[in-house]
Amino acid sequence: MSYRVIVLPGDGIGPKATTEPVRVLDWFHGYCGLDVAVRHELCGAVAYHTRGAVIANKAFTDLAEVEVVLFGAKGGSEFDEIPPEARRKVNLTTHLPAYGGLRQFAPGNRQ
Protein backbone atom coordinates (compact mmCIF):
# COMPACT_ATOMS: atom_id res chain seq x y z
CA MET A 1 0.00 0.00 0.00
CA SER A 2 1.14 3.52 -0.78
CA TYR A 3 0.75 6.37 1.73
CA ARG A 4 0.54 10.06 0.90
CA VAL A 5 1.44 12.52 3.65
CA ILE A 6 1.08 16.29 3.71
CA VAL A 7 3.20 18.04 6.32
CA LEU A 8 1.93 21.41 7.55
CA PRO A 9 4.56 22.70 10.00
CA GLY A 10 2.53 25.79 10.88
CA ASP A 11 3.70 28.32 13.45
CA GLY A 12 5.73 28.49 16.64
CA ILE A 13 7.00 25.08 17.71
CA GLY A 14 5.28 23.43 14.72
CA PRO A 15 8.26 23.25 12.35
CA LYS A 16 10.41 21.72 15.07
CA ALA A 17 7.63 19.33 16.12
CA THR A 18 7.14 17.97 12.60
CA THR A 19 10.83 17.35 11.88
CA GLU A 20 11.21 14.13 13.86
CA PRO A 21 8.05 12.38 12.61
CA VAL A 22 9.20 13.08 9.04
CA ARG A 23 12.60 11.57 9.89
CA VAL A 24 10.80 8.44 11.15
CA LEU A 25 8.82 8.19 7.92
CA ASP A 26 12.04 8.61 5.92
CA TRP A 27 13.67 5.83 7.96
CA PHE A 28 10.78 3.43 7.34
CA HIS A 29 10.89 4.33 3.66
CA GLY A 30 14.63 3.74 3.37
CA TYR A 31 15.07 0.70 5.62
CA CYS A 32 11.74 -1.10 5.48
CA GLY A 33 10.53 -0.19 2.03
CA LEU A 34 7.46 1.71 3.20
CA ASP A 35 5.88 3.31 0.16
CA VAL A 36 5.37 6.85 1.40
CA ALA A 37 5.33 10.19 -0.39
CA VAL A 38 5.83 13.18 1.89
CA ARG A 39 4.84 16.64 0.68
CA HIS A 40 5.51 19.83 2.64
CA GLU A 41 3.17 22.82 2.46
CA LEU A 42 3.26 26.23 4.11
CA CYS A 43 0.51 26.84 6.64
CA GLY A 44 -0.36 29.50 9.21
CA ALA A 45 1.22 32.92 9.68
CA VAL A 46 4.26 32.10 7.51
CA ALA A 47 2.00 31.15 4.60
CA TYR A 48 -0.21 34.19 5.12
CA HIS A 49 2.72 36.60 5.09
CA THR A 50 4.31 34.82 2.12
CA ARG A 51 1.26 34.09 -0.07
CA GLY A 52 -1.64 36.05 1.43
CA ALA A 53 -3.50 32.91 2.56
CA VAL A 54 -3.04 30.70 5.63
CA ILE A 55 -2.94 27.67 3.32
CA ALA A 56 -2.91 27.36 -0.47
CA ASN A 57 -6.26 26.33 -1.97
CA LYS A 58 -4.75 23.27 -3.67
CA ALA A 59 -3.10 22.11 -0.44
CA PHE A 60 -6.34 22.61 1.49
CA THR A 61 -8.31 20.58 -1.07
CA ASP A 62 -5.66 17.84 -1.09
CA LEU A 63 -5.92 17.36 2.70
CA ALA A 64 -9.03 15.25 2.19
CA GLU A 65 -7.30 13.11 -0.45
CA VAL A 66 -4.18 11.99 1.45
CA GLU A 67 -3.87 9.27 4.08
CA VAL A 68 -2.08 11.40 6.68
CA VAL A 69 -1.88 15.10 7.52
CA LEU A 70 0.93 15.95 9.92
CA PHE A 71 0.12 19.33 11.43
CA GLY A 72 2.60 21.13 13.66
CA ALA A 73 0.95 24.09 15.38
CA LYS A 74 -0.94 27.29 14.84
CA GLY A 75 -1.19 30.41 16.90
CA GLY A 76 0.99 33.01 18.47
CA SER A 77 1.11 36.75 18.07
CA GLU A 78 1.74 36.65 14.30
CA PHE A 79 -1.25 34.34 13.76
CA ASP A 80 -3.48 36.55 15.93
CA GLU A 81 -2.80 39.48 13.59
CA ILE A 82 -4.37 37.61 10.64
CA PRO A 83 -8.01 38.58 9.94
CA PRO A 84 -10.46 36.03 11.46
CA GLU A 85 -12.04 35.18 8.10
CA ALA A 86 -8.60 34.14 6.78
CA ARG A 87 -7.80 32.09 9.92
CA ARG A 88 -10.90 29.87 9.71
CA LYS A 89 -9.41 27.74 6.96
CA VAL A 90 -6.77 26.33 9.32
CA ASN A 91 -9.40 24.73 11.58
CA LEU A 92 -8.56 21.21 10.41
CA THR A 93 -10.81 19.51 12.98
CA THR A 94 -13.87 20.57 10.98
CA HIS A 95 -12.38 19.79 7.55
CA LEU A 96 -10.98 16.28 8.10
CA PRO A 97 -12.97 13.12 8.87
CA ALA A 98 -10.66 12.10 11.75
CA TYR A 99 -8.36 14.12 13.95
CA GLY A 100 -5.91 13.22 16.67
CA GLY A 101 -3.82 15.68 18.63
CA LEU A 102 -0.53 14.91 20.33
CA ARG A 103 0.87 16.98 23.17
CA GLN A 104 4.30 16.76 24.66
CA PHE A 105 4.64 16.48 28.41
CA ALA A 106 7.37 16.40 31.02
CA PRO A 107 7.08 13.61 33.60
CA GLY A 108 7.78 14.36 37.21
CA ASN A 109 6.41 16.40 40.04
CA ARG A 110 4.67 19.55 38.93
CA GLN A 111 3.16 21.71 41.60
HEC letters along the chain: CEEEEEEEEECCCHHHHHHHHHHHHHHHHHHHCCEEEEEECCCCHHHHHHHCCCCCHHHHHHCCCCCEEEEEECCCHHHHCCCHHHHHHHCHHHHCCCCCCCCCCCCCCCC
pLDDT of residue 5: 94
Percent of the chain residues past pLDDT 70, beyond the cut: 86
| Per-residue pLDDT, 107 | 67
pLDDT tens, 18-64?
A: 999 999 999 999 999 999 999 999 999 999 999 999 999 999 999 98
Supply the pLDDT for residue 106: 61
pLDDT of 111 strictly over 60 = no
